[in-house]
Structure 1
Amino acid sequence: MAKIRPLGDRVVVRPDSKEETTRSGIIIPDTAKEKPQQGAVIAVGNGRLLDNGGRSVMELHEGDRVLFAKYGGTEIILDDEIYLVLRENDVLAILD
């Protein structure tokens, strides 16, 4: 994977891939697939810049499994892999 370092309060998430066929063997076309809402955090920014010049502390860390807003963030493709760049507040929960 290419090195990527998000800025501010952004995180880079590798969304989980969905099954492309049903249990009965029917292939699901891309247009009918639901967007994934879970994934793994692979990079974390330094935190949002505060008015006093300091930085907010990020609650997320690399390797965290997260649940994120369905249509949040920006989808990017690096080295033929799909990633999402999200603001920390687009992440809804950390999964254990």
Structure 2
Amino acid sequence: MISLLQSIISIPVPFNMVTIAVLAGSTAGICGSLFTQIRKFACHRAELNFKRDLLDRGLTADEVEQIVQAHGSANDALATASSKMGCTTR
């Protein structure tokens, strides 16, 4: 890692800044994609836990499906809360 940094620094002046900018942009893109995937996973787990809780309460699968569909269109408070988490509703 140190040898990579030294080789970037040894590049002539205008080109080493371009190389550093490209590396920084690539790193930011990779981190952004990683965080997006983590957020999607967390939202998916939250939805699965919600469905599991409904099933634990004794609702049938058809009732759970109706509630989940209604949840996306009629319940603005939950939709607002989930959008703050970065989750999208159907």
The answer to whether the superposition gives a TM-score over 0.5 is: no
Larger % of strand: which?
1
Give the TM-score, by structure 2 length. Answer: 0.26
Which structure would you say has the larger RCO, counting Cα contacts within 8 Å and 6 or more residues apart? 1
Larger % of helix: which?
2
Give the TM-score, by structure 1 length. Answer: 0.25
